[in-house]
Amino acid sequence: MMLFRLGSLALAAAVMALPALPATQVVVLGSGTPQPDPDRSGPATAIVVNGSAYLFDIGPGVVRRAAQAVRKGVAALDPVNIKIAFITHLHSDHTTGLPDLIFTPWVMNRKEPLELYGPQGLRAMTGHILAAWEQDIDLRVHDLEHATPNGYKVNVHEIQPGVVYKDKNVTVKAFAVLHGAWKQAFGYRIETADKTIVISGDTRPSPSVVENCNHCDLLIHEVYTEGSTQKVAVEWRKYRLSYHTSTKELAEIANKTRPGILLLYHRANPGCDQVGAQCGNSGSEAEMIAEIGQAYKGKVVAAHDLDIY
| Domain containing residue 292: CATH number | 3.60.15.10
Confidence of residue 307 (pLDDT cuts 50, 70, 90): very high
Range with lowest mean pLDDT among 95-104, 153-162, 178-187, 219-228: 219-228
Cβ–Cβ under 8 Å, residues 48 and 76: yes
Confidence of residue 28 (pLDDT cuts 50, 70, 90): very high
Which helix (H) or strand (E) segment is 172 a member of?
A: strand 171-176
Residue 89 lies in a domain: yes
Residue 180 lies in a domain: yes
Whether 2 shows a pLDDT value over 70: the answer reads: no
Whether 244 shows a pLDDT value over 50: the answer reads: yes
Residue 239 lies in a domain: yes
pTM of the model: 0.90
**C-alpha to C-alpha distance for 260 and 26, rounded to whole angstroms:** 14
Cβ–Cβ under 8 Å, residues 24 and 49: yes
3-state secondary structure of 6: helix
What is the number of domains present in the chain?
A: 1
pLDDT tens digits for range 182-206: 999 999 999 999 999 999 999 999 9
What is the average per-residue pLDDT within 294-305? Answer: 97
Long-range contacts of 178-184, Cβ-Cβ distance < 8 Å, separation of 24 or more: 178/203, 178/204, 178/205, 178/206, 179/89, 179/203, 179/204, 179/243, 180/204, 180/239, 180/242, 180/243, 181/242, 182/89, 182/90, 182/91, 182/119, 183/119, 183/120, 184/89, 184/119, 184/120, 184/121
Residue 3 lies in a domain: no
Residue 234 lies in a domain: yes
Residue 11 lies in a domain: no
Domain of 111 in residue numbering reads as 22-302
Q: Measured between alpha carbons, how far apart are the two ends of the chain, in Å? A: 48
**C-alpha to C-alpha distance for 248 and 152, rounded to whole angstroms:** 44
**C-alpha to C-alpha distance for 196 and 188, rounded to whole angstroms:** 10
Residue 252 lies in a domain: yes
Cβ–Cβ under 8 Å, residues 95 and 55: no
Residue 74 lies in a domain: yes
Confidence of residue 282 (pLDDT cuts 50, 70, 90): low
Which among 229, 239, 283, 234 is positioned nearest to 37, based on CA atoms? Answer: 283
